[in-house]
Structure 1
Amino acid sequence: MEAVKTLLLFVVVLAVALSVSIADPDLLQDVCVADLTSAVKVNGFPCKSNISEMDFFSDILAKPGATNNSMGSLVTGANVQKVPGLNTLGVSLSRIDYAPGGLNPPHTHPRATEVVFVLKGQLDVGFITTANVLISKSIKKGEVFVFPRGLVHFQKNNGKVGAAVIAAFNSQLPGTQSIAATLFAASPPVPDHVLTKAFQVGTKEVEKIKSRLAPKTKK
């Protein structure tokens, strides 16, 4: 009987611990508008004293983003860096626009689960579990799809017209790691011998990918 009580107590404690670790910490006051100019380093942003309604407002997602780039997509974030009033609230949004054939390449959000709502068009979406299983589906206007926190995922517009989604996150700043850019465009660079062995390709192929993903410098 005592063993059963101990097990139940462990389960309760574990459940509580997991519930508070799946998203940003709870706020301890009504608002804490981010002071984005502060040199103080904390887990989040310090609070500023003078606030207004504009700290809680943005029209950044109102207009489609330009998709005339190599991937044919653009992510426009409405996170704490754009809406300071989101500080400590544990939520944020993004708008993602896709040209026909556009791709939001495989990436992860280390600090948030993502839910996308399709504004227009149709997308092929998916994520890969840690067991290397692909979970994928085609979604269209009015439908939603969930990408669990930390798992690699993607969206691809295979239609002949543009598409767009609104993405919601349970973090004020979910972070994004694009798999290709993380590995082939890091600074300082990941050594070639690491990439050639990991991907089972030659140095020439690695250098070719690096040159294509390297940040473009303005002339």
Structure 2
Amino acid sequence: MRMISPIIFTVSLLLSSACHAAVQEFCVADLTAPESPVGYSCKKPETLTVNDFVYSGLGVAGNTSNPLKAAVTLATVPEFPALNGLGISLARVDVAAGGGGAIHTHPRATEIVHVVSGEITAGFISGANKVYYKTLNKGDIIVIPQGLLHFQLNSGRIPAKLYVSFSSASPGLQILDNALFANNLPTELVAATTFLDIAQIKKLKGAFGGIG
């Protein structure tokens, strides 16, 4: 079998990369226009300033006075239109002692969690139902593969601050408890598919605002 020339191989890689490159360098979203499956239409470049590429919303702590004792401050396209079409987004997560997010998934993005302060226990459940979790401290990061159920809990005694990044400008969010108990899926179907007690399901539907 003949070996491929290193030059030909390198050129092939460059051509492949070029074929997948964006036609435009950026596309700051025009939020006044309708959103399409591929994102928002672009603002006219001549109307843009440096301020369109700067977002300061992550500098303020979120309000953790809620049942989860946690707050998420997003930097996705609706908050930061410059991310439109770039395939990335961020969020700040503040978690009070004893608080944490419910088990959830981001169907369109892989997530990296960076612990800025405090201590958290974070992890995910693989498609083979194996659980990967660990207690993380300041400076640690954990990667959550796309679409997998995962969680972050404050396992320390002081508030925790996290920054998370996503491999999508619109990562999506589905919270497991809401999916089961915050809609009109009939209680009998929830019981048949989860093996939960009907009385418990009705109690949870009442807590999450579901009906049926």
Q: 2:149 aligns with which of 149, 152, 160?
A: 152
Question: Post-superposition, which runs of at least 4 consecutive aligned residues in structure 1 deviate over 3 A?
Answer: none
Q: 3-state SS of the aligned residue for 1:181? A: helix
By how many angstroms is 1:116 displaced?
Answer: 0.7
SS of the residue corresponding to residue 95 of structure 1 reads strand
Q: 1:28 Cα deviation (Å)?
A: 1.9
Of the three residues 81, 84, 92, the one matched with 1:95 is 92
Aligned to 2:198: 203
**Cα drift, residue 40 of structure 1:** 5.5
Corresponding position of 1:78: 75
Could you tell me how far 1:43 is from its partner in structure 2?
Answer: 1.6
Kindly provide the CA deviation profile for residues 127-154 of structure 1, in whole angstroms up to 9, marking residues without a partner as x.
0001100001110001100100000000
SS of the counterpart of 2:199? helix
Which runs of 5 or more structure 1 residues have no equivalent in the other structure? 2-18, 20-24
Per-residue deviation at 1:93? Answer: 0.5
CA shift digits 1:82-108 (9 cap, x unpaired): 110111111111000101011111100
Report what 1:41 is aligned to.
36
- In 1: Cα distance, 2:189 partner to 2:110 partner: 30
* Matching of residues 13-162 of structure 1 within 5 Å: 27-39=22-34, 41-49=36-44, 50-162=47-159
Q: Name the structure 2 match of 1:16.
A: none
Shift of 1:26: 5.2
Q: Deviations over 1:53-85 (max 9, x none)?
A: 222111111011111101111111101111101
Q: What do the CA deviations read for 1:11-42 (whole angstroms, capped 9, x no partner)?
A: xxxxxxxx9xxxxx853201111011113634
Structure 1 residues 178, 26: closer, same or farther in 2, change over 3 A? farther
TM value normalised by structure 2 = 0.85
Give unmatched runs, 5+ long, in structure 2: 2-16
Q: Secondary structure at the match of 2:121?
A: strand
Shift of 1:190: 1.3
Contact 1:72/1:102 (8 A) holds in 2? yes
Percent identical across equivalent pairs? 39
Aligned partner of residue 105 in structure 1, secondary structure: coil
**How many residues in Structure 1 have an aligned counterpart in Structure 2?**
192
State the AA in 2 paired with 1:131: A
Q: 1:106 to 1:26 in 2, by over 3 A?
A: farther
The residue aligned with 1:22 is none
Task: Evaluate the alpha carbon distance shift between residue 191 and residue 174 of structure 1 in structure 2; reply closer, same or farther with a 3 A threshold.
Answer: same
Q: Does residue 212 of the first structure (1) align with residue 207 of the second (2)?
A: yes
How far apart, in 1, do the equivalents of 2:197 and 2:122 lie?
Answer: 31
Q: Which residue of 2 aligns with 1:6?
A: none
Query: By how many angstroms is 1:157 displaced?
Result: 0.5
Q: Which amino acid aligns with 1:115?
A: I
Distance in structure 2 (CA, Å) of the matches to 1:192 and 1:171 = 34
Report the TM-score when normalising by structure 1. 0.83
C-alpha distance in structure 2 between counterparts of 1:151 and 1:27, whole Å: 28
